[in-house]
Amino acid sequence: MTACAIRAHFAEFGIIVGQGRQRVDGLADLLDDEELTLPAHARIALAVLVSQLKELGRQVEAIERELAEIRRVNPMAKLLSSIPGIGPITATALAATVPDATMFRSGREFAAWLDLTPKQNSTGGKDRLGRITK
């Protein structure tokens, strides 16, 4: 169940919490609120959701630590992460996927290998390349 679904299902009880991982603690605080008139079944469902979201947050943090370690020891991932806009996930994924960057003659060839190609608007024999679509 997504955060939007949680909001939709619990809004009728006055529970509206913003989206994002950092908002899970706010949901946990609601469970401790004795003034909240929440039916027992709804309180149980909310407790299960909070528990699942917290566990998922712990798993994401563990994966992020592992990716940071890979980026630290892998010279290609370290170099890629120095490029603005390339984070640890993209850097480690590219370092693991691309065997040898010298096999590409240009950045355009690399983009085509990634299947990032510009949208084509061609009329009357005139080729016009638009933005990159996936």
Q: Which two structure tokens, joined as six digits, stand for 121?
A: 């608007």
pLDDT of residue 134: 60
**Threshold 0.85, pTM exceeds:** no
pLDDT of residue 66: 93
Report whether 120 contacts 130 (CB < 8 A): yes
Report whether 127 contacts 115 (CB < 8 A): no
Is the pLDDT reported for residue 4 higher than 70? no
pLDDT of residue 1: 54
Side-chain half-sphere of 76: how many Cα atoms within 13 Å?
A: 12
First CA to last CA distance, the chain: 27
Q: What is the pLDDT of residues 6-36, one digit of tens each?
A: 545 677 777 777 777 777 777 777 777 777 7
pLDDT of residue 26: 73
Mean pLDDT within 99-124: 80
The gap from C-alpha 1 to its chain's centroid, in whole angstroms, comes to 16
Report whether 113 contacts 103 (CB < 8 A): no
Dist. CA 26–CA 44, nearest whole Å: 16
Domain boundaries, the chain: 3-97, 99-134
Q: What is the pLDDT of residues 30-88, one digit of tens each?
A: 777 777 777 778 778 888 888 888 898 899 999 999 998 998 899 888 988 898 998 88
pLDDT of residue 55: 92
**Closest Cα to residue 61, out of 97, 100, 21?**
21
The SS3 assignment for 79 reads: helix
pLDDT of residue 39: 79
pLDDT of residue 2: 53
